[in-house]
Amino acid sequence: MPNNLRNLTPSLPSPPSSGPLSQEIYVNEELDVKVLKDFERIIKEEWNELRNREQLADSDGNSD
């Protein structure tokens, strides 16, 4: 029975170790990291701006 199960297990192709495709994959991974870092930075900036607005609104409401 274990032999039958081994035959059903799909094997994934290994990524290329050299050549233009491997360079393209590497460049895409670098770009993905840059995009994610930019996205994270933008989210943090927006979050801080919203938090500052809420704090200003709270302080204006308390002073009345």
Domain boundaries, the chain: 19-51
Q: How far is CA 30 from CA 16, 25, 35, in A?
A: 17, 9, 9
Q: What is the pLDDT of residue 50?
A: 96
Three-state DSSP at 31 gives: helix
Q: pLDDT 10s digit of each residue in the chain, 64 long?
A: 455 555 555 565 555 566 666 666 667 788 888 889 999 999 999 999 999 999 999 888 765 4
Residue 61, pLDDT score: 74
Cα–Cα distance measured from residue 29 to residue 57, given in angstroms and rounded to the nearest whole number: 42
At 64 the pLDDT is: 47
Contacting residues for 45 by C-beta, under 8 A, at least 6 apart: none
Instruction: Kindly report the pTM of this predicted structure.
Output: 0.48
